[in-house]
Each structure stands twice: as structure tokens, then as C-alpha cells.
Amino acid sequence: MPQIDLVEETFVAAAPEAVRGRLATLEFARRLWPDLRLRVTQDRGAKGLRHAVSGDFTGTAEVWLEDWADGVIVHVYLRVDPTGAAWSPRRALRELHRRQRALKSVLWAVKDEHEGGRRPGEPARR
């Protein structure tokens, strides 16, 4: 099991095509993880991208987009180990929490952008 095993899911109530056009890109993955070197290993088209991670960390990353109801569930995975010696469990947990907070900030900004002033229970904007 990798030392950093981040899994996040966020629902965006918006037209799947609009969300895909923004998130199924290498640029979006680099926005999520600006400090990681990413290489696309699988382009899944409308479903997103899988990446190999290298540099200070090694492992894999993925943004998977799943159509659901009137929007999209954005699944994000980052499974990496620090390059070199293993970290203490406490340090790895701090890094996981730091990355979770940064990821949520980016995903919530995407929700705000696509959902605008939509109130809970209202249909997604098209």
C-alpha cells in the first residue's frame, strides 16, 4: 500500500460535457498537483486520464469522470510513495491531509464555477 493514498469524490451538478472539457485534461491534473511530474499513461477520453507520477514521489494519479444523474461524479486518486527513504506514518498522514485540503479547494472552485448560484435540489445548469 502506498504511503500517500488519496481518494476523493465530488459531485458536480452541471452538463457532463462542460465538466469533461475542463477536467479530463493534463492541465487540470497539473493544477491539482503542481509539484508532481505527471506522464499520461492512459487517456480514457470522456472518462478522464491516468498518470504515472515521478520526481519527489513515485506512483500513480487519476482523474475519473463518471456521469451520474444530472451531473458528474469526479473521482480523484493519488497513490504515491516518497522517493528515497520511507516517511514516518505521522509525516505521511500530514502530507495526505495537506493534499486533501488542496484538492478540495480546487474541486470546490470547479463546483462553484459550474454550478453558479444553483440551489440544492434544483436541476443542473445546461
Question: The domain containing residue 45 runs over which residues?
Answer: 4-115
Establish if 13 belongs to a structural domain.
Answer: yes
pLDDT of residue 126 exceeding 80, the answer is no
Q: What is the grid cell recorded at 117?
A: 448560484
pLDDT at 63 over 90: yes
Burial of 90 per CB tally in 10 Å (0-12, 13-18, 19+): exposed
Q: Does 124 score more than 90 pLDDT?
A: no
Query: Among 36, 37, 43, which Cα is nearest to 20's?
Result: 43
pLDDT given at position 33: 93
Cα 52 to chain center, whole Å?
14
Number of domains comprising the chain: 1
The one-letter code for the residue type at 76 is V
Q: What is the pLDDT of residue 17?
A: 87
Residue 97: per-residue pLDDT: 98
Residue 126 lies in a domain: no
For residue 11, being part of any structural domain is answered with yes
pLDDT at residue 58, as a whole number: 97
User: What tens digit of pLDDT does each residue of 2-50 get?
Assistant: 999 999 999 999 988 888 888 889 899 999 999 999 999 999 988 999 9
CATH number of the domain that residue 19 is part of: 3.30.530.20
Is there a domain that residue 75 lies in?
A: yes
Instruction: List, as own/partner pairs, every contact residues 119-123 make where C-beta atoms lie below 8 angstroms and the sequence separation is at least 24, other chains included.
Output: 123/13, 123/70
Q: What is the pLDDT of residue 107?
A: 94
Mean pLDDT of 90-107: 97
Alpha-carbon distance 123 to 9, whole Å? 20
Q: Supply the pLDDT for residue 102.
A: 95
- Residue 125 counted as domain residue: no
